[in-house]
Every structure is written in C-alpha cells, then in structure tokens.
Structure 1
Amino acid sequence: MSLPDHHLTEGEVRIRAFHPHWKRLIGPFFALVLIVAGSGAAIYFMPAFEYVLYARAAVAVLAVGLLTVWSFVPYLRWRNTSYVLTSHRFTISTGVLNKSTDDIPMSKVNTVSADQTLMERILGCGTLNVESAGEHGHITLRDIPKLQDVRAELFRALDDAADGEPERR
C-alpha cells in the first residue's frame, strides 16, 4: 500500500499501512443511492412526448456527472490516501492524479496526541495530531482507523528509534 518494499531503507520495517476510516465514504455512498434512485425514477416515470429519448439521455448524462463528482471522486481520494508507519518514519501519501507524499522521521517527532468525539469512539476512529521539529511543525490526520492501536504502535516506534534499535516483526 503506497510505500513499496523497495522504497524502505536498510533495516526499516513496515509496522502498519492503512487508509482513512471508511466513515469518509458514508456521504458518497448516500449520494450514489440517491442519484441512482432519483435518475432511475425520473427516467421510468417520464411521460411520453416527442423528445423523450433526448430527455432520458439528458437525465442519464446528468446522473453520470453527479455520480462522478459526488461518489467516484471522493472514493478515489479515499482509496489513494494512505498512511504507512515504519520503524524509521511515518509516511502520508495523498492524491489521485498528482501525488503528494510527506515523511515524518521518527527522530523529529516531538508530541503525539489523539482526539475522539463520541461518534468516533463508537466507530473506532479519531484524529491524530503529530508535532515535529520539521518545516510544517504540526500535522493533523483525521479519520484514523483503530486510533489507539496506531498511537500505541507510533509510541513503540518512537521508543525504538530513540533506543537506536528498531523492532523486527
């Protein structure tokens, strides 16, 4: 996922690789259902008139356009956003057509904190805040699945990096 084995440095071990939580797809899924149901009903119940085929084609084209914008593009963004935690760095990769990759070296991480709303606790996700001694200084990662597990693994990786001996898995 996002960080192939040949991009790992010598002695670097992949600890966890994941996408944002699936809750990001709830809105696009409901949009898909509503657009398909609405356009299907519009095409089926359209009264017969001289240009009914053109009207049905226009509804279909409009539906495909809306599906692309409100369902397919958000799915592609979700699918092409990935987080990879290794023994040496935390990599954030985003982008569908243009790719952006940020690496946070374990040696530069200062503070890690987590926030969860009640709904996020129920769904098992949350927001991870990582402060580093880098150019940006603070990175907020929303909708991290299994937040507490990721946080614990990040702390283990930080401890191992501080000891100078990354844990082998």
Structure 2
Amino acid sequence: MAYPDKLLADDEEVVRHLHPHWLTVFWPIVLFLLLVGGASFGAALIPEGEQQGTFRLVIAVLAVLLVLALVLVPLLKWRTTHYVITTHRLLFREGILARRGRDIGLSRITDVSYSQTLWDRIINSGTLTIESAGDSGPTVLKQIPDSDGVQQLLNHMIEEDADRRAQESAGYIRGVDGGHPTRQL
C-alpha cells in the first residue's frame, strides 16, 4: 500500500514504507485460530436441551469479544503503524482511533543505530535508535523488519539529502552572470 501523497512535498518521494515486523501479528492470528477452535468445541460439548441455544450464544459472544480485544486490536495497530522513509524525511504514524506521529528531517538526524537479539537476527528484525538534533531525545523503533538494511538505507538517504542541499545551496549562490558567481534572488 502506497503512502498518501498528500503528506509529501512536491519533490519528495517515498523510498521505503514499513510496518512493524510481520511476526507481531503471528500470535494474534494463532490466538484467533485457538479461539475459533475452542469456541466451536465448547459449543459442540453443550448437551441438548432448552438452554443449549443460550449457552452457545454466550460462548459465541465471549469468543467474539475475545477476538476483538486480543486479535483485531493488535492487527489494527500493526496495520496503522507506518514507518516511512522519503527523500527528505523520516515519518512515523501510529494509532487506530487516536493518531500519533513524528516527522524528522533527514538533515536533523545525527545518528542511526540498530540492535538485534539472537531471535531478532533469526527473523531479520530489530530495534532502530534515531538520534536527532533537538530536545526530544532519541526515537526508538522496535520490531523493524530488516533493521540493519533500514539503518544502512537511512545513512545513505542522509548523505544524499546533504548532497542535494549542498547542490541547491550552490545553485542559489552561483548564478550565471558573465561567468562570475552571483547571488540568485
């Protein structure tokens, strides 16, 4: 799914759009299968009688409530969490009903590091720590797929952004006026 173009500047392009690692939704899906199986088995165990329908309805309602709380909410959190690297900035957006976001200009990023546990290395995931100029402190992104590749990409994009800014600045200062550098206004 492409990131909404309305959030991007005219000369800005999405380089990489990520969600948290897919294993963050693994256990909710396993739990969904267990809940469906358990509710079906429980409903089948209810003996015949005039209360059978009521008990089966109670089991179904409980199963639906558990699915909403333990399966649907984590899936929606995963789906509505976006880590977007563009040619100019890094964007974070998360939240189902209430949203939270942060944009960090590539020129403000001073350090990008990643860490991986043994399990993270096995599943190719990790934690990114992004230091930026300002008082907000480091930004820590957990469960990032291909965290070492994302760290390298961010470092590359920071360098490209610095080169682009230098070229824009040089183009601003050097105009063509009889072969002499002049300030363009």
TM-score normalised by the chain length of structure 2: 0.84
Matches within 5 A, 1:59-138: 59-138=59-138
Structure 1 counterpart SS, 2:134: coil
Greater CA radius of gyration, 1 or 2? 2
Structure 2 gaps, min length 5: 167-185
Q: CA RMSD in A?
A: 1.6
> Which segments of structure 1 move beyond 3 Å, counting only runs of 4 or more?
none
Alpha-carbon displacement from aligned partner over 1:104-163 (angstroms, at most 9, x marks no partner): 111111111100111111111111000111342211101111112211110011111222
- How far has the Cα of 1:98 moved from its partner? 1.7
Partner of 2:6: 6
Q: Distance in 2 between matches of 1:49 and 1:116?
A: 56
How many aligned positions are there? 166
Structure 2 counterpart SS, 1:76: helix
Q: Distance in 1 between matches of 2:136 and 2:31?
A: 35
Matches within 5 A, 1:29-68: 29-68=29-68
Contact 1:2-1:84 within 8 A present in 2 as well: no
Contact 1:2-1:82 within 8 A present in 2 as well: no
What letter corresponds to residue 80 of structure 1 in structure 2?
A: T
Structure with more contact order per residue of length (Cα contacts < 8 Å, sep ≥ 6): 1
Alpha-carbon displacement from aligned partner over 1:61-113 (angstroms, at most 9, x marks no partner): 00000000000110000001011001111000101112222101111111111
- How far has the Cα of 1:16 moved from its partner? 0.5
- How far has the Cα of 1:10 moved from its partner? 3.1
Q: Distance in 2 between matches of 1:6 and 1:63?
A: 40
